[in-house]
Amino acid sequence: MTLLSIRDLDVRFGSRRVVAGLSLDVAAGETLALMGASGSGKTTAVLGVLGLLPAQATVSAKTATFLDAPLLESGARRFLGRGIGCIFQDPRASLAPHLRIGAQLEESLEIAGVPESSRRATATKLLEDLGVTDPARRLAAWPHELSGGLCQRVAIAMALAGNPKLLVADEPTTALDVTVAAQFLRLLSNLAKERGLSVLLISHDLGVVCAVADRVAVLHEGAVVESGPTERIVGAPSHPETRRLFAALKTESAP
Amino acid sequence: MSRSDGPVAILFKDTSARIAAGILLILTLVAMGADVLPLADPGAVDTSRRFAAPGLAPATMTLSAEDAARLAAAPGLAPAMRRALFGDTVIAPLFGTDELGRCLLSRTVRGFRLSLAAAAVAAIVTLLIGTTVGAFSGWKAGRTDALVMRFVDLADSVPVVFIVIFAVAFLRASGITDPSAKVVVFFATLGMVSWITMARLVRASALALRSGAFIDASRALGMSEPRIVFRHLLPNLVPVMIVALSLTVPRILLFESFLSFLGMGVEAPDLSLGTLARSGFAAFNPVDPRVHLLLVPGIALAVLLLALNVLGDAVRDAADPRLPRP
């Protein structure tokens, strides 16, 4: 079953066309990695579909649907925090600095429609499920008191508060150090398996993509140039832009 | 550093904040209850004790027959409470007397009342108008922001002193002698100048916050715009609001003295710390400096400003959860 379906997505900032005819599908339960060099339009495309770009961007598509419901023209708003959860690059910066972890988690649960009486217990349970030790203490803490890895788990807990079917993760490991990132990736693939969660992963890290993605779509200048199962794309890329991107990523990660 | 207490608990653990809040509370209560306290009539002239120096003995005196009769005839609740509580007893001029032998303590308390009212009006106008304009402009950004901020520039470029001169001249020319009309003009002027710094600082802060990662994240979590503005943007503007207030309130207190000095603010028989300082300055001479006339209102103003600043600083720190706690 196709969860998210996008055909011919265009995003323009004035006369500049940042995303040009992008098409992709995310099936239920699969993890799709959207790869591409910086500036290829990965994040812009996803934020555009979700209606999270600033007003000066114009977003259009032949079709853009989530569970067969249209996403564009603020249609995505009713799915955010419910059917679709998002996590971002810098987990600490994406938590509100003036609210305790508990208050933020409970706010996400409020948006998801969880009754007030059971919010605290649900928040504790969510953190426990994500392997956070001593959740009661974490709930009383401020974001700046937690490590990056813990902040990312809290961010996931907030994204999972609405029991989403799709998790959008925009470069979730960039701000984490290597060991924490590895733990995080294990957690992410376990979650996807246990909850039957689809993940749309935006990344330019080959290691991350190979670790969690079922399929890869490679973006160049705002359009998908190649897509397919991870092993095939990474093992034998056919498009010249894909080969160039992988070559660049390999030299980048070499010591 | 772990911090389990809320902002209010933190604020009241801070000794200097407690002292400052206590001083402000006492000063406000004294200023508001001036009519109940056994203070001498600030306008009562006694030429037998001109320029008396401050002193603690005697601490209390009995009202003169004339003043006692005036107190007995005064209508209203406050004089009645005073008669019931203190009878004919009156506090002696502990802070000395001025060139007409009037009690400087009593005059300072009355002057304090007007200065506090000016500061309170400035704070309220600043908070209401300055925060609304600044937060709206910064949050909307783009063209709306440019338009609103040009309007703020315009308001900032109005020569306030001239406006006051016109307003006062207009009141005089139209034969309005009602002192309350003057007070309205006076406070309206203070309001006009007070909100601009707040608007600018809040706008700059809101502009920076609106593109912050956590605002983007709250949108992605499905929060509505009002929720983001009121639960996520405004609380993060509180520290800069307090900074702006602690810049504005002292400026307004000084501006009040300045206007009064020009004869366009408070006029006799009304009193403010500004007019008291001015008459102290007029009475100053090298042979017999009579410094208490200058020092008493000056110290009163300094204590008020210091307490406001210490409290403002502590509130700002308490409102920011990121600061490490001892």
The nearest CA of chain B is from the CA of A116 a distance in Å of: 17
What are the residue boundaries of the structural domains of chain A, listed by start? 1-83+199-255
The per-residue pLDDT for B146 is: 95
With CA atoms as reference, report the closest residue to B106 among B115, B117, B94, B114.
B94
**d(C-alpha B288, C-alpha B291), whole Å:** 9
- With bands split at pLDDT 50, 70 and 90, how would you rate the model's confidence at B4? low
Q: Is the pLDDT of residue A125 over 80?
A: yes
**d(C-alpha B271, C-alpha B265), whole Å:** 10
Q: E strands along A92-214, which residues?
A: 166-170, 198-202
- With bands split at pLDDT 50, 70 and 90, how would you rate the model's confidence at B23? very high
Mean pLDDT, residues A192-199 taken together: 89
Write the residue in A50, A82, A141 that is nearest to B220 by C-beta.
A50
Chain A residues close to B232, C-beta within 8 Å? 96, 98
**d(C-alpha A109, C-alpha A149), whole Å:** 21
Burial class of residue B183 (count of CB atoms within 10 Å of its CB; 0-12, 13-18, 19+):
middle
A142 at B interface, C-beta within 8 A: yes
**d(C-alpha B326, C-alpha B324), whole Å:** 7
The nearest CA of chain A is from the CA of B261 a distance in Å of: 44
> Which chain B residue's Cα is nearest to A85?
B221
Write the residue in A88, A97, A140 that is nearest to B4 by C-beta.
A140
3-state DSSP assignment of residue A58: strand
Q: Do A95 and B217 touch (CB under 8 A)?
A: yes
The nearest CA of chain A is from the CA of B151 a distance in Å of: 24
Chain B residues close to A53, C-beta within 8 Å? none
Domain CATH number, residue B158: 1.10.3720.10
Mean pLDDT, residues A236-243 taken together: 88
ipTM score of the complex?
Answer: 0.84
Q: Is the pLDDT of residue A88 over 80?
A: yes
The per-residue pLDDT for A253 is: 64
Per-position DSSP letters for B44-70, written without gaps between them: ---GGGTTPPP--SS-EEE--HHHHHH
- Mean pLDDT estimate for chain A: 89
Single-letter amino acid, residue B18? R
Q: Residue B73 domain-assigned?
A: no
Tokens of B166: 């016109």
- With bands split at pLDDT 50, 70 and 90, how would you rate the model's confidence at B101? confident
The nearest CA of chain B is from the CA of A227 a distance in Å of: 27
The per-residue pLDDT for B325 is: 56
**d(C-alpha A189, C-alpha B321), whole Å:** 34
Mean pLDDT, residues B196-216 taken together: 92
Q: Do B213 and A94 touch (CB under 8 A)?
A: yes
Single-letter amino acid, residue B206? A
Q: Do A97 and B214 touch (CB under 8 A)?
A: yes
The per-residue pLDDT for B198 is: 92
Give CA separation, B137 vs B145, B157, B205, B215, in Å: 4, 19, 11, 16
> Which chain B residue's Cα is nearest to A104?
B218
The 10s digit of each residue's pLDDT in A150-165 is 998 899 999 999 889 9
- Least confident piece of the model among A124-128, B134-138, B212-216, B264-268: B264-268
- For chain B, the straight-line distance linking the first and the last C-alpha, in angstroms and rounded, comes to 8
The per-residue pLDDT for B2 is: 43
Higher-confidence residue of B153 and B286: namely: B153
Single-letter amino acid, residue A165? K
Phi, psi angle pair for B258, to nearest 5°: -65, -50
Tokens of B296: 């008493």
- With bands split at pLDDT 50, 70 and 90, how would you rate the model's confidence at B258? confident
Q: Do A141 and B2 touch (CB under 8 A)?
A: yes
The per-residue pLDDT for B199 is: 94
Q: Do A98 and B236 touch (CB under 8 A)?
A: yes
Q: Is the pLDDT of residue B256 over 60?
A: yes
Q: Do A77 and B236 touch (CB under 8 A)?
A: no
**d(C-alpha A143, C-alpha B80), whole Å:** 57
Write the residue in A55, A88, A97 that is nearest to B322 by C-beta.
A97
Q: Residue B201 domain-assigned?
A: yes
The 10s digit of each residue's pLDDT in B244-254 is 888 888 888 87
The per-residue pLDDT for A157 is: 92
**d(C-alpha B194, C-alpha B137), whole Å:** 18
Angle at B108 between CA B107 and CA B111, to 5 degrees: 85
Chain A residues close to B9, C-beta within 8 Å? none
CB within 8 A of B307, min separation 6: which ones? B20, B21, B23, B24, B27
The per-residue pLDDT for A6 is: 92
Chain A residues close to B219, C-beta within 8 Å? 52, 80
Mean pLDDT, residues A137-161 taken together: 90
**d(C-alpha B106, C-alpha B112), whole Å:** 10
- With bands split at pLDDT 50, 70 and 90, how would you rate the model's confidence at A70? confident
Give CA separation, B16 vs B65, B304, B313, B318, in Å: 45, 14, 10, 13
Q: Is the pLDDT of residue A72 over 70?
A: yes
**Across the A/B interface, how many CB contacts are shorter than 8 Å?**
69
The nearest CA of chain A is from the CA of B228 a distance in Å of: 10
Domain, as residue range, for B148: 7-37+101-319
A145 at B interface, C-beta within 8 A: yes
Phi-psi region of B62 (alpha: psi -120 to 50; beta: other; left: phi over 0): beta
Phi, psi angle pair for A201, to nearest 5°: -100, 125
Number of domains in chain B: 1
Q: Which fold has domain A1-83+199-255?
A: Rossmann fold (3.40.50)
For an interface test with A, give the residue of B10, B205, B214, B216 to mutate (most A CBs within 10 A).
B214
**d(C-alpha B73, C-alpha B80), whole Å:** 10
CB within 8 A of A153, min separation 6: which ones? A127, A130, A131, A132, A184, A187
Tokens of B247: 């810049």
For an interface test with B, give the residue of A49, A94, A99 to mutate (most B CBs within 10 A).
A94
Q: Do A88 and B4 touch (CB under 8 A)?
A: no
Beta bridge partners of A6: A24, A64
**d(C-alpha A66, C-alpha A53), whole Å:** 18
Q: Residue B50 domain-assigned?
A: no
Higher-confidence residue of B64 and A29: namely: A29
Q: Which runs of consecutive H residues, i.e. helices, occur in A98-147?
A: 101-111, 119-129, 135-139
